[in-house]
Amino acid sequence: DAMVIQNPRYQVTQFGKPVTLSCSQTLNHNVMYWYQQKSSQAPKLLFHYYDKDFNNEADTPDNFQSRRPNTSFCFLDIRSPGLGDAAMYLCATSRGDQPQHFGDGTRLSIL
């Protein structure tokens, strides 16, 4: 089945230690998104790639970076995680402006 795959499902890191989350897709969608979702809240868009064009949301902290080396893969880098960055991180994809399809997320814990 075509899908959006996020690895790892659970990630534990130390305060201030860089961490990278990964997302891959077999849907061949040209748009990829990263969201942060905290408990009992709606997903919050961090940034998205339209093909190779990177679009950063205005309120996304500088601590968060992203890379998209090819159509299928996208990475979220958190340079110096703080306790407030503990959350579920969701990757989504879409074909153009069609509805977004989500992976099952990576739950990030900060020690």
Under the rule (CB under 8 A), what is the footprint of another protein? 4, 6, 31, 40-43, 45, 48, 50, 55, 57, 90, 92, 94, 97-105, 107
> What are the backbone angles phi and psi of residue 95, rounded to the nearest 5°?
-95, 110
Between the CA of residue 46 and those of 11, 63, 64, what are the distances in Å? 19, 11, 8
Q: For another protein, which is the closer residue by CB, 21 or 90? A: 90
Provide, rounded to whole angstroms, the least separation between the CB of residue 16 and another protein. 26
Alpha carbons 32 and 17: distance in angstroms, whole number: 25
Provide, rounded to whole angstroms, the least separation between the CB of residue 104 and another protein. 5
Q: For another protein, which is the closer residue by CB, 6 or 78? A: 6
Spatial contact of 32 and 48, defined as CB atoms under 8 Å apart: yes
Provide, rounded to whole angstroms, the least separation between the CB of residue 4 and another protein. 8
